[in-house]
Amino acid sequence: MQAANVCPAIEIPVKLDDPVARISTYLRCKLGLLRKRADRRHSGFASYIAFFRELLAGPRSVGAVCPSSSYLAQAMAAELDNTDDGLVLELGAGTGSITSALLQRGIAPERLVVVERSTALAAHLRRRFPAVRVIEGDARQLDELLGSDRGRVGAVVSGLPLRSLSHATVNEIARQIHRLLPEGGVFVQFTYDLSKSSGCADMALNRARTRVIWKNLPPARVDTYIQAGGKFMPLPRN
């Protein structure tokens, strides 16, 4: 008797010497693949619905006309070391474009902590990523939200619309990020304003590199900062 193969879609052993079993398993495997594709399409559709509901409810808090593209999300995730053991903190996850890219990058779900202010979007994220810790809360209160985990953060990835937030709000978020990150810790932020800084970290962290994602709609710039261990300096008004 020949060794059995396994259908990759549904992990069903295939008996190679049994024609009926081969045909039956093949059909079940194809059905499993179709279901997986349908689940992915449903997830994407649900994300768009969640995004546009939030956009209609509060355009300023969303700060974008469509969810972040996979190009932008993957570019941000690529800035992180997936072999590190520190927590990755994602701020303003929205519908989960960047969350998905971080997981695909190899960040283990137990290392990822997501903070989302919107009740509806936080619920959407919990449904979409059941293995990821999702905290409903304000990025100005990270110390309180993270509790005993605040000393474990090694990197912060932000999808917050900093350019549409008040100066005082951005200053407090920057202060929180600076306090959380250890020396050498990474902070990644994107902005749609290609001519200016992302609005958060210039006075608190050292900008290490920048990259424009032209395939995103609209084009966006990804800024990566490194915690140098210096004293936090309040951000000047633009």
- Domain-wise residue ranges, the chain: 60-226
Mean predicted confidence (pLDDT) in 51-68 = 54
Residue 124 has pLDDT above 60, yes or no: yes
* Euclidean distance between CA atoms 202 and 56, whole angstroms: 32
Residue 99 has pLDDT above 90, yes or no: yes
Q: Which of the four pLDDT bands, split at 50, 70 and 90, describes residue 9?
A: very low
The pLDDT of residue 177:
93
The pLDDT of residue 12:
47
The pLDDT of residue 82:
84
Residue 237 has pLDDT above 90, yes or no: no
Q: What is the mean pLDDT of the chain?
A: 79
Q: Are 177 and 115 in contact (CB under 8 A)?
A: no
CA pseudo-torsion sign 174, 53, 39, 136: positive
The pLDDT of residue 162:
85
- Sheet strand arrangement including 206-213: 133-136, 112-116, 87-91, 153-158, 186-191, 220-226, 206-213
Q: Which of the four pLDDT bands, split at 50, 70 and 90, describes residue 87?
A: very high
Better-scored residue on pLDDT, 231 or 86: 86
Least Cα distance to 62 among 121, 113, 115, 102 occurs for 121
Out of 18-32, 84-98, 133-147, which region has the weakest mean confidence (pLDDT)?
A: 18-32
Q: Which of the four pLDDT bands, split at 50, 70 and 90, describes residue 83?
A: confident
The pLDDT of residue 25:
63
* The model's pTM: 0.73
The pLDDT of residue 53:
61
Q: What fold does the segment set 60-226 form as a domain?
A: Rossmann fold (3.40.50)
